[in-house]
Amino acid sequence: MVFGGSRGIGAAAARRLANEGADVVVTYVSAPERAAETIGAIEDTGRSGLAIRADSGDPAAIEAAVAHAVDHFGRLDIAVVNAGILLLGDVASVSVEDLDRMLNVNVRGVFLAIQTAAARLTDGGRIITIGSNTAVRSGYPGSSVYSMTKAAVAVMVKGIAIDLAGRGITVNNIQPGPTVTDMTVDHIERIKQLSPLKRAADPDEIAGLVAYVASKESGYMTGSSITIDGGLAL
């Protein structure tokens, strides 16, 4: 199940997991046509897909989506929590409304998705969050709140990994750098020049790491945050 799987990194992760042999559920909020495209790509691999509209800031919607997914497929083995928003603004201009929106989706929503998925996850399953390299590297102007929310996810994962270790469930956090998605289109050209590789990531590159963390081979890794950002120096 990929929370926020209709486009960008989430859609790439959904496609890759299908290629690896998984049936995949994706949630979306505002892009039903993109969700349908992702489901089409999943089904092109020969696997089954299901799109569910669910706002990651709404606990009831998250709970209903997970219940629907398990009822539909019979089990849940992997949960990828990708839903997030980026609202830029320096310390003088960030509104309380924008602060609350980012905390609601990027922190509270991530916790609720993990909590709800974990209750239905098979023992030995995988939980993977999509964070940001800004959690460990200095951010760029206007990114202080966004970076704070992603740092919170990195710490959250460490604690939840301990909570779920007894069930053999691993919990890890992937921290991409600049990646070509709808969310980054307005500032990607400027930021990618700070990378030694002088480019941004393709979502499929991040999805490859998701596939590894979801695999049996990663079973000894939990509570970790893995940064994949082209050596970005900020």
Q: Is 150 a catalytic residue?
A: yes
3-class secondary-structure state, position 90: coil
What does the alpha-carbon distance between residue 134 and residue 163 come to, in Å, rounded to a whole number?
26
The alpha carbon dihedral of 19, 20, 22, 26 has a sign of: negative
Q: Which of 146, 147, 195, 225 is catalytic?
A: 146
Q: Which of 6, 28, 56, 132 is catalytic?
A: 132
Only one residue has tokens 């969310």, namely: 183
Pair 121, 77: CB distance under 8 Å: yes
Q: Is 30 a catalytic residue?
A: no
Element of type H or E holding 44: helix 32-44
Q: Which of 6, 28, 56, 150 is catalytic?
A: 150
What does the alpha-carbon distance between residue 2 and residue 115 come to, in Å, rounded to a whole number?
14
Q: Catalogue the active-site residues.
A: 132, 146, 150
